[in-house]
Amino acid sequence: MSYCINPACPNPKNPPTANQCQACGATLLLRDRYRMFRALGRGGFGATFLARDEALPGNPPCVIKQLRPSTEAPHILDMARDLFQREAKILGKIGNHPQLPRLLDYFEIDQEFYLVQEYINGATLQQEVKRGGAFTEAGVKQFLSEILPMIQYVHNSQVIHRDLKPANIIRREQDKKLVLIDFGAVKDKVNPVKASSTEQTALTAYAIGTPGYAPPEQMAMRPVYASDIYALGVTCIYLLSARSPKDLDYDPTTGELLWREKIEVSEHFASVLQKMLEISVRHRYQSIDAILRDLDLEPYMDSLAQNMAFQMPPSGKGDPLSGPISSASSPLTSGGNSTGSPSSRMAAAIRARRDRVTSRSGAVLGNGRKPPYLGSPNRMPPSHPLPLSSTPQRKPSTPKLTADDIKLTYVKGQRDFSMQMFAPLDLQRSNLSGVNFNQSKFVKANFQGADLSSANFGKADLPQVVFRNSRLSRAYFNFANLENADLRGADLSYACLSNANLRGANLCGADLTGATITEEQLAMARTNWSTVYPNGRRGIL
C-alpha cells in the first residue's frame, strides 16, 4: 500500500505501485525515492510514517518524520526550520551510538520538513507493559542498567532529551537491546521572533515534552540535565505499576506523585526512586553517576559494562564520532585507571569490588564462571553496599516458581521471569512466546514441544534443559549456558546464539536457518545430516 501524507486527503490509502494519490492527486513517492505505507503517529505539528527507500536494493524500511507548521507566518516557519535543523544536527551528532537511531536523510519540500531515520523493529516499553503487565523490581533494575549509560552518553553530548517515556524506548527485536528514540524535543537555544499566543503555544507544545513525565522546571521552559532523570523516574513507576502518571494521585500541596503504595519494591530502591522524583531540582539527583553510586548493580554488571563501553571522550575532547572504545583501552577491562568517563570509572570500581569479594570466596557457578557478587547468583544484592571486609548476611530464600505458577501468571499477562531460580519444571507444549527468562537458572526443565518464539534466555543457566521439538524462532540466547541441552528438532531459525555455551548440546534435526552462531560453537555441539545450518543447507556447514 502507498500512503498519502497530505493531511487533508479524504482517503490516504492507495495501491502499492501508485505514484499519484487517487483521492487528492498528491505525489506519493517523496523525493522520488521514499514511499510511505503506514502512518505511525500524527499530531498538531507533524506526523511520522513508516516508509520504504525505493532507491536502495531490497527497499529497506525507514521512518520519516514530517514537520508541518500549522501556519504560513514567516516567523513560525523560521522557528519550525530551526527545530528541524536542530533535531537533524543532534541525530547526526549522537546517532553513531548503537542504541540510538541513525539519521539517514533530511530535506525541505514546499515549506514542509522531513527527517529520515533508521527504522527500529521492536516493541516499545509501553507496549510491553500493556501486553505483559508490570515489571518486577529486578526487571526495572535491569532496565536501568541499560538505559542509564545511554542517557549518560546523551548528556555527555550536551543534549537534554526532554521526552523520556516508555513510548520512546523500544526493545529492538534483533538483539533485545533498548533503543532511545524521538529527539524532537531536545534542548537547544531557540530565539523565536515574537509571535501571537496561539502560534507560540503551537510551537512550544511540540518542544516541551510530555505532561506527567516532564518535571515542573521543564514545563516552565527551563530544563536541566536532571529533568531527564525525573522523567526516567516516572518511567520506572510506570514499569512497576502499569499506571501512567495521569492515573496516579498527587500531593496537592507539593505536586509530588503519590506512587509508593502502588508498587512493591525494597526500601533501598524506593529511596533511589524518591530522589529521582524530587519536585525540587536542588534535591533531585544531579547526574547519572549519582544514581549509579546509590544502586546495587552487581547482578547487572555485564550489561552495564557493555553499555558503558560506548562513551563520549571526557570533557568533550576528541572526535565523538570515532566509535566505541576498544576493549584493549577501555577502563572496564584495564583495571579501571583514572582516565575515561565518570561512568566508566564507576563501572570499573564496581567490577573491582566484585572481583575482590569473589576472589576471597572462591565461588564458581556450574558453568565455571564466578558469580557477580558473593552469594547465590540469582538472589538480589543486599539493599545497602557492604564494607569489603564484611560478609553479607543471607536473606531468606525466595520460594521457587513452579510450572503452574509460570503458566498461571503468563495467562494473566506476566512475561518477566528474569533473574529467577526455578524448581524442576515440566512445561511441555506450553505457549510462552515472548517470555523473559533473562539471567534465570534452570534445573531439570522440560520445554519439549513448547512455543518459546522470541523468548529471552540471555545469560540464563540451562544445562541439560530439554527443548526438543520446541519453537525457538528469534529466541535470544546470548551468553546462555546450554551445555548438554537437548535441542533435537527445535526450530531455532533466526535465533541469537552469540557467545552461548553449546558444549555437548544436541542439535540433531534442529533448524538453524538464519541463526547467529559460529562454526566454533557448532563444532562443540552434536549435529547430524538432518541439522539445517544457518546457510539453509541440511547437513552441510
Residues identified as active-site? 163
Helices 301-308 and 342-361: angle between axes, nearest 10 degrees: 150
Phi-psi region of 469 (alpha: psi -120 to 50; beta: other; left: phi over 0): left
CA atoms within 13 A on the CB side of 407: 13
Strand partners, 103: 117
| Closest CA relative to residue 457, chosen from 484, 441, 437, 432 | 437
Quote the CA–CA distance of 52 and 63 in Å, as a whole number: 8
Strand partners, 29: 35
Strand partners, 50: 38, 63
56 contacts 31 by C-beta, under 8 angstroms: no
| Closest CA relative to residue 228, chosen from 306, 286, 141, 167 | 286
Grid cell listed for 369: 564462571
Alpha helix (H) residue ranges in 214-325: 216-219, 225-241, 267-276, 288-294, 301-308
* C-alpha 212, offset from chain centre: 21
Q: Give the start-end residues of each E strand in 173-233.
A: 178-180
- Sole residue written with cell 561512568: 343
Terminal-residue alpha carbon distance, the chain? 39
Report the length, in residues, of the chain: 541
Quote the CA–CA distance of 503 and 485 in Å, as a whole number: 9
Tally of CB atoms within 10 A around 242: 18
Burial code (b: 16+ CB inside 10 Å, e: under 16) for 291-325 equals bbebbbbbbbbebbbbbbbbbbeeeeeeebeeeeb
Quote the CA–CA distance of 166 and 288 in Å, as a whole number: 18
Residues in CB range of 170: below 8 A, 6 or more apart: 120, 122, 123, 124, 125, 178, 179, 181
| Closest CA relative to residue 210, chosen from 178, 180, 236, 234 | 234
- Sole residue written with cell 512497576: 240
CA atoms within 13 A on the CB side of 393: 4
Quote the CA–CA distance of 231 and 253 in Å, as a whole number: 21
φ and ψ at 511, to 5 degrees? -100, 110
Parallel/antiparallel/unpaired status of strands 34-43 and 29-30: antiparallel
